Amino acid sequence: MLRVCELLQIKYPIVQGGMGNISNAQLTAAVSEAGGLGTIGCGTMTPKEVEHIILQTKEQTTKNFAVNIAIGVSPYTDELIDVVIQQNIPVVSLSAGNPAPFIPKLHKHGIKVMVLVASVKHAQKAEAAGADLLVAEGFEAAGINSHLELTTFTLIPQIVESVQVPVLAAGGIGDGKGLAAAFMLGASGVQMGTRLIATREAPFHRSYKQRLVEAEDTSTVIIGRSIGRTRRVLTNPYAKRIVEQEKAGITLEQYMDWTTEDQHIKGAIQGDMENGFINSGLIAGLIDEIPSVEELLAGMVEEAGERIRLTAERFQGIHSQSRG
């Protein structure tokens, strides 16, 4: 935990996940101001659009924040690398593609590199390529997911045992219990996305936040499995139509047309549930309030500490009884 905080220069070992084209300065700055590491997700935005959000974020916080570049999603990866260097971004996370060609250039400019991975093999390759930190994401996570469908609970300990660099746990984490569990699995911290949507500072449509609060354990659905492009979203009319289309048979091109960032914005920003989708991880079933980001992060750390303390006491009692 301390290693990650020192590496990223943050108070709490909690990182915001990239949110693609719905990323914004307001939430990014709020996470960093609250002691975590805010993150701007580039999605398919142009370098100028990303630079604009970076400048807005700098106006709202002087603390460290990161930029996430989804290599296989963005058509501007090389240009975005240049932007983060020019803007002196201290931390960059790379996902959805091979990070090896980009890490040396980022390191040359003193930038720490996080790499999102979904298997032991991917983790080992990322470490060998020079990643400073890994984010191991289980299939419980929101948005685009690995087709391997490995769960957080099983993925984290296997990756932790296979690499030497710190590992953050992602997927299905959004409270102090999840943070404590991540530590027990060997992670040095966590990355969250869905839980941060349901905060007061997050500038997303109220319908999005309310649906997260009302969500149950089965309120998310996987789309795209039939064509090998899995994405976890909150069930809504638009998502249901995609599921029905998959059952009838769709092409990759059709699926990609129905799941563009334009449809993402319609759902998340405009609240249009008939014509847009909203990403959500399985953690939605555990969300029942909309706190400030500061309240959320501080509360998570406090709850995690209390859970660990109580568990240690209980385990000590069991251990003493077994020895007696």
Per-residue pLDDT band for 179 (boundaries 50, 70, 90) equals very high
Say if 38 falls within a structural domain.
yes
Are 149 and 215 in a shared domain?
A: no
Are 67 and 181 in a shared domain?
A: yes
Say if 40 falls within a structural domain.
yes
Tokens found for residue 273:
């549930």
> What's the pLDDT score for residue 321?
60
3-state helix, strand, coil in the chain (%, to 5): 50, 15, 35
Mean pLDDT over 229-247 rounds to 92
Per-residue pLDDT band for 144 (boundaries 50, 70, 90) equals confident
Are 78 and 119 in a shared domain?
A: yes
Q: How many domains does the chain have?
A: 2
Are 42 and 86 in a shared domain?
A: yes
324 pLDDT exceeds 70? no
Kindly report, residue by residue over 20-36, the tens digit of the pLDDT: 889 999 999 999 999 99
- Asked if residue 270 lies in contact with residue 203, where contact means CB atoms within 8 angstroms, the answer is no
Are 146 and 275 in a shared domain?
A: no
Are 64 and 198 in a shared domain?
A: yes
Per-residue pLDDT band for 312 (boundaries 50, 70, 90) equals confident
By three-state DSSP, how is residue 297 classified?
helix
1 pLDDT exceeds 80? no
Distance CA 267, CA 238 (A): 9
> What's the pLDDT score for residue 277?
92
Tell me, what CATH number does 89's domain have? 3.20.20.70
Find where tokens 């997927």 sit: 171
> What's the pLDDT score for residue 149?
87
Are 128 and 7 in a shared domain?
A: yes
Are 22 and 88 in a shared domain?
A: yes
Residue 14 Cα distances to 30, 67, 301, angstroms: 13, 15, 9
Q: What are the residue ranges of helices labelled H in the chain? A: 2-8, 25-33, 47-60, 77-86, 103-108, 120-128, 152-162, 176-184, 194-197, 206-214, 237-248, 252-258, 261-268, 293-323
Are 194 and 210 in a shared domain?
A: no
pTM beyond cutoff 0.75:
yes
Say if 54 falls within a structural domain.
yes
- What domain range is 248 assigned to? 206-283
Say if 288 falls within a structural domain.
no
Say if 323 falls within a structural domain.
no
Per-residue pLDDT band for 313 (boundaries 50, 70, 90) equals confident
Tokens found for residue 265:
């914005």
Are 216 and 140 in a shared domain?
A: no
CA angle 165, 167, 172 (to 5 degrees): 170
By three-state DSSP, how is residue 150 classified?
coil
> What's the pLDDT score for residue 81?
98
Say if 320 falls within a structural domain.
no
Are 154 and 278 in a shared domain?
A: no
Are 177 and 75 in a shared domain?
A: yes
Say if 17 falls within a structural domain.
yes
Distance CA 145, CA 271 (A): 23
323 pLDDT exceeds 80? no
Say if 292 falls within a structural domain.
no
Tokens found for residue 82:
């240049």
One DSSP character per residue, 91-143 reads EEEEESS--TTTHHHHHHTT-EEEEEESSHHHHHHHHHTT-SEEEEE-TTSSE
Per-residue pLDDT band for 42 (boundaries 50, 70, 90) equals very high
